[in-house]
Amino acid sequence: MSEPNLGMAELKLEAMNFDRAEMRDLHVVKEAIDGEGRQDYLSKHHMGVWNVDKHELACLAPKSYMVIQQRHATESIIEALTSLNIKATAMLKKSRHGIQLDLDFPDAKFQLSEVGESFTSGVRIISDYSQVAGLVISPRITRLVCSNGMIINEVVRSKRIKYSEELKVTVEGLIDQMLKDIISSDGKLAGMVSACMRDSIEWQACQLLARALFKQKKHVKQILSRLTLSQDSKVNRWQFYNAITEYCTRGERLKPALDAWLQNKAQKVLTTPFIKLTEELLRVEGSEDVEA
């Protein structure tokens, strides 16, 4: 079951309970051994990102690093969308030290007439105290025919934001530009979709490929169950791609790290012909056999 969609007012209320973090000095300690006294070294170049609410270390970071509070980030995003007059809904996922927000902009629609598909634009926001990436904004589209959420880094690249006092202004500019880039890149996306629709493999080969790509039986089962065979018992690459993204969007509640891993696999499928995917997997498996 997928997470429920939130309005911006609901998201703002959720944000009030997000974990806080702060930078704390990092000490390297050597306990007393064989009569030598305890030695305590203060790190000159690194500090710890401390999750205040969970009372634990999230990660190590350079002393120049500044934490973006997740509540502040979310409020800045909501303010930016309000300034841009963008109607939005959000899907929120949480990890131990992070949040993942999938924002959909239902009025920002575009059509890929070449393939007869309609989409809405959106973005994915990731903030994780266990990483020093800052705030990450990725391009996202939703396929209207089935509400699948798709990350399209192969079409428009993700952006990373470091802390600044003008966070709302920075976020506003990036979201505005990303939406324009998504819509202006519709020709490239249409080309990818068309190529995927023309590329097909036998059902048995698709099963083997899914097992090689996703390893775990539950992922393979969930993805294959979302595929519909053609009359000649074949599956095209667009169907395979959509089965993966549908699992991300409407499957069981996936943790953000697994969701991101599956979306990366999906992007690989979107841009790589079946025959090349198979060859690459065979090379990897062959090298593993040699190492073993």
Which residue has tokens 């704390």? 24
Residue 285 confidence (pLDDT): 57
pLDDT at 210: 94
Q: What is the pLDDT of residues 201-210, one digit of tens each?
A: 999 999 999 9
Query: 82: closest CA among 175, 15, 159?
Result: 175
What is the tens place of the pLDDT at every residue in 236-256?
Answer: 999 999 999 999 988 777 889
Q: Give the tokens for residue 20.
A: 């806080």
Give the separation between CA 26 and CA 106, rounded to whole angstroms.
Answer: 46
SS3 91: strand
Helix/strand/coil percentages in the chain, nearest 5: 40, 30, 30
pTM above 0.75, yes or no: yes
Write down the pLDDT at residue 113.
Answer: 85
Q: Indicate the domain borders of the chain.
A: 5-13+68-185, 21-62, 199-285
Distance CA 226, CA 220 (A): 10
- Work out the average pLDDT over 121-139: 94
Query: What is the rounded average pLDDT of the residues 118-133?
Result: 94
pLDDT-based confidence at 33, cuts 50/70/90?
Answer: confident
